[in-house]
Structure 1
Amino acid sequence: MHTVLVLIHAASGTTGLLLALPILLAPKRRGRHTLLGRVYAVAAAGLSLSALGLFALDPARLWGLAILGVLTLGWLLGGLWFARRRPRGLGGRGWRVWHLNLMGSTVIAFVTGFAVQLTDGNLVAWLAPTAIGSVLIARRTARELARAPRRIVVGAAG
């Protein structure tokens, strides 16, 4: 069972890492972005669930993997929910900001896992992807908000 979980985890992680940049660079509309996004979502789910399976086999040693797996799964489900539902109460494009932040967080998780694996758990590998990725997400969020139509608030005269 351990070998099967490791294979699923490695294949899912590799797929997600390979797809992250093309998805980020693809025009944000139906077509390439959504097609690649669906494959990425399957990879992220496979990565998260295999992480939890591996944790169940060795909880004392793999607790960090479990935390990353749970967070990634939560970000993935949230990002997919916003993309599917596109709630109107957030303003015209507000759902895109949430989708961007949540899915961007899954990319940070993929990069963190990869970096931690390469460095055998170095603390910088745990922290640097979040520090760098958060800045990149914030910049992209600012650009998205600048593109959003301005709402005119009508209030009582006074």
Structure 2
Amino acid sequence: MHTVLVLIHAASGTAGLLLALPVLLAPKRRGRHTVLGRIYAVAAVGLSLSAFGLFAYRPAELWGLAVLGALTLGWLVGGLWFARRRPGSLGGRGWRVWHLNLMGSTVIAFVTGFAVQMSDGNLVAWLAPTAVGSLLIARRTARELGRGPRRIAVRTVG
């Protein structure tokens, strides 16, 4: 079972890393963004659940993996909730800001896991993706907030 979990974890992590940039760069409307986003979400679920399974085998060594898996799953569920519900109580684009911050955080988690694995747990690998990713998310959030409310053109026939 351990080998199966490692394979699921590696495949999900690879898929998530390969899909992250195309999802981020796709136009934010129905179509490519939503299709790739759904596949990315499946990869994130696979990654998180396999992380919990692997943690069960070696809890003292893999507690960080479990924490990252729990955070990733929480951010994913939150990001998907905002995308599906689009709560109007947040103002015109408020839901988009929450969605991009939560889903951006899942990307940081994928990159962090990869960096930690490749560096054999180096502290910089744990911290650098969050530092860089947070700056990128903040920049994109500011741009989104600067766009203002969506305007709807009304034509009158007369």
Corresponding residue number in structure 1 for 2:109:
109
Corresponding residue number in structure 1 for 2:26:
26
What RMSD in Å do the two structures reach over aligned CA positions? 0.8
Structure 2 gap segments, 5+ residues each: 151-158
Query: How much identity, in percent, do the aligned residues show?
Result: 87
Superposed displacement of residue 67, structure 1: 0.3
Matched to 2:43, the amino acid is A
Matched to 1:2, the amino acid is H
Off by >6 Å, runs of 4+ in structure 1: none
Q: If the length of structure 1 is used for normalisation, what is the TM-score?
A: 0.94
Matches of 2:107 and 2:6, distance apart in 1: 20
Matches of 2:57 and 2:147, distance apart in 1: 47
Superposed displacement of residue 38, structure 1: 0.1
1:123-152 per-residue CA deviation (whole Å, 9 max, x = no partner) reads 0000000000000000000000011229xx
Corresponding residue number in structure 2 for 1:62:
62
Matched to 1:127, the amino acid is L
Corresponding residue number in structure 2 for 1:78:
78
Superposed displacement of residue 21, structure 1: 0.3
Structure 1 gap segments, 5+ residues each: 151-158
Corresponding residue number in structure 1 for 2:134:
134
Matches of 2:26 and 2:4, distance apart in 1: 32
Q: Secondary structure at the match of 1:59?
A: coil
Matches of 1:6 and 1:80, distance apart in 2: 26
Number of residue equivalences: 150
Matches of 1:57 and 1:126, distance apart in 2: 22
Matches of 2:41 and 2:145, distance apart in 1: 25
1:7-58 per-residue CA deviation (whole Å, 9 max, x = no partner) reads 0000000000000000100000000000000000000000000000100111
Corresponding residue number in structure 2 for 1:153:
none
Q: Secondary structure at the match of 1:130?
A: helix
| In the alignment, structure 1 residue 14 sits paired with structure 2 residue 11 | no
Matches of 1:139 and 1:88, distance apart in 2: 23
